[in-house]
Amino acid sequence: MRESMTAKGQAGTGTTGRAALAVLLFASTLTVMAGTVLVPVLALIRDDLGIGGTAAGLLLTAHALSIAVTGPLAGWSIDRWGLRAPLVTGLLVYGLAGGAGLFVESYAALIVSRLVFGVGAAAVFTGSTVALLTLYQGVERDRAIGRRSTAISLGGIVWPLLGGALGGISWHSPFAVYLVGLPVGVAMLWVLPAVPAAERRAGRGNTVRLLRLLPVRVLGLYGVSFVSSLLLYVLAVFLPQRLAQVGVEQPFLVACYTMATSLSGAVAGLVYVRLRRRFGYAGLLRVAAAAWLAGLLVAGTADHLVPLAAAPALFGVGMGVAVPTLTVLIGEAAPPGMRAQATALSGTAAFTGQFVSPLLVGPLVGATSLRAGFLVAALLAGAVLLVVGAARPAPPLVPAGGFHPDPHRPTRPVAGLEKNGDAA
């Protein structure tokens, strides 16, 4: 899918462009906060509703399953009808279904609301990603996608802190954070350019057809996305237990360690354009896999506080460069009219990895030890490093519009958004 702006959008000012970028970056933080907002009150929910640990854990992961299942439908709807309507609808569903936890009193109703919430989150994830890929080209696109990575990482810090602060009122209170989707939806309706009707008709196809059209290397990129999320949740779930083994049990200190992933990822996103120029996309995937390997090895072998702090920081660097790189490579490789569906499948891969991570690694840790769990995860990261290291450089990918850009001619953002590269 290659979208352009309407005459009104083409006449837009730099202020409009900066507003669109700001709203899209803010919307990009909403999927990362989908589960983390509830972490501080999970024990309170479990006690009040009288449920077990596994049932409580589903409150954090049910939306991920929903995103994985409905993501392709969200991508198809964006390719079929354009960006604005599906994205705005997704934000409204996100806000209403997420905020339902303010009033819900039963576990069954809460799970249903989380599944519906995941449908909205799927549209938000896919729509915000495709919007950035569509509205920018070349270096400006790398800069926008790098800033998206930084915004996601910072959201991983701010939203859980806000959820914890509201959790002091009641376990229902953190659900109010999800209501932010409503004003963001209204803002998106105002600032996001419309898509001409003629181009809306281009987005026809289905997931099976898309998988047949995609190059094999893109399927490999989906595999990397799946593994990266799986490994990330190994660290998120089991690092606090590993810290307890070396005497770090205070919630604030544990939070400081786990936030190192988001902080280092945010820094990597800020310098992403420079890193991409230096290493190229293939080189950045190798850097990411090496950082994951190093972080997991440290988590599995270190016995002191200082080296353990390096584990989440190293892993965060890997995520900070992998997420934008995978986003750009998959978006560029999408067949004409199917960019959103290709992007949605990357979300399906990532959120499936998130959902199955504790299910796969938890039994291994229970049967062996935390060290063994981290070392097996490190072996998986090492396998990714071997694969991306052995892969030959691919020829230049054709953008979704079907044309080859002149490599000697710099590309620019879409008309009306020329000043977005200077936006914060």
Please give the pLDDT value at position 202: 44
CB hemisphere CA count around 276 (13 angstroms): 24
Please give the pLDDT value at position 414: 38
Q: How far is CA 222 from CA 99, 160, 218, 225, in A?
A: 31, 28, 6, 5
Q: Examine the pLDDT at 391 and tell me if it is beyond 50.
A: yes
Q: Please tell me the least confidently modeled range out of 53-67, 71-85, 95-109, 316-330.
A: 53-67
* Helical packing angle, 84-99 and 107-135, nearest 10°: 150
Cβ neighbors of 226 (< 8 A, separation 6 or more) are 349, 350, 352, 353
Q: How confident is the model at residue 199 (pLDDT cuts 50, 70, 90)?
A: very low
Please give the pLDDT value at position 412: 41
Residues 79-89: tens digit of each pLDDT: 888 888 999 99
Q: Examine the pLDDT at 186 and tell me if it is beyond 90.
A: yes
CB 275 within 8 A of CB 312: no
Please return the burial class of 222, using the count of CB atoms within 10 Å of its CB with bins 0-12, 13-18 and 19+: buried
Please give the pLDDT value at position 10: 36
What is the secondary structure of 132-198 as a DSSP string?
HHHH--HHHHHHHHHHHHHHHHHHHHHHHHHHHHHHTT-TTGGGGGGGGHHHHHHHHHHHSPP--HH
Q: Examine the pLDDT at 7 and tell me if it is beyond 70.
A: no
The 3-state DSSP composition of the chain as helix, strand, coil percent (nearest 5) reads 80, 0, 20
Residues 202-259: tens digit of each pLDDT: 445 566 666 777 778 888 999 999 999 999 988 887 888 888 888 887 766 777 787 8
Residues 133-182: tens digit of each pLDDT: 888 888 888 889 889 988 988 888 888 888 888 888 889 999 999 999 99
d(CA 303, CA 249): 15
Residue 383: closest CA among 242, 177, 254, 230: 230
Structure tokens, 163? 């959820």
Cβ neighbors of 233 (< 8 A, separation 6 or more) are 353, 354, 357, 358
Report the percentage of the chain scoring pLDDT > 90.
36
d(CA 315, CA 228): 10
Please give the pLDDT value at position 201: 44
Q: Examine the pLDDT at 119 and tell me if it is beyond 90.
A: yes
Query: 39-53, 61-75, 111-125: which has the highest mean pLDDT?
Result: 111-125
Please give the pLDDT value at position 200: 44
Residues 300-319: tens digit of each pLDDT: 999 888 889 899 999 999 99
Q: How confident is the model at residue 53 (pLDDT cuts 50, 70, 90)?
A: low
Please give the pLDDT value at position 179: 96
Q: Which whole number is the average pLDDT over 185-192?
A: 91
Q: How confident is the model at residue 421 (pLDDT cuts 50, 70, 90)?
A: very low
Q: How far is CA 415 from CA 12, 405, 420, in A?
A: 8, 17, 11
Please give the pLDDT value at position 214: 74
Q: Which whole number is the average pLDDT over 352-371?
A: 87
Please return the burial class of 51, using the count of CB atoms within 10 Å of its CB with bins 0-12, 13-18 and 19+: middle
Please give the pLDDT value at position 260: 87
Higher pLDDT, 81 or 123: 123
Please give the pLDDT value at position 373: 92
What is the secondary structure of 333-366 as a DSSP string?
HSPTT-HHHHHHHHHHHHHHHHHHHHHHHHHHHH
Residues 342-351: tens digit of each pLDDT: 888 888 999 8
Report the percentage of the chain scoring pLDDT > 70.
83
Q: Which whole number is the average pLDDT over 360-368?
A: 87
Average pLDDT score over the chain: 81
Q: Examine the pLDDT at 65 and tell me if it is beyond 70.
A: yes
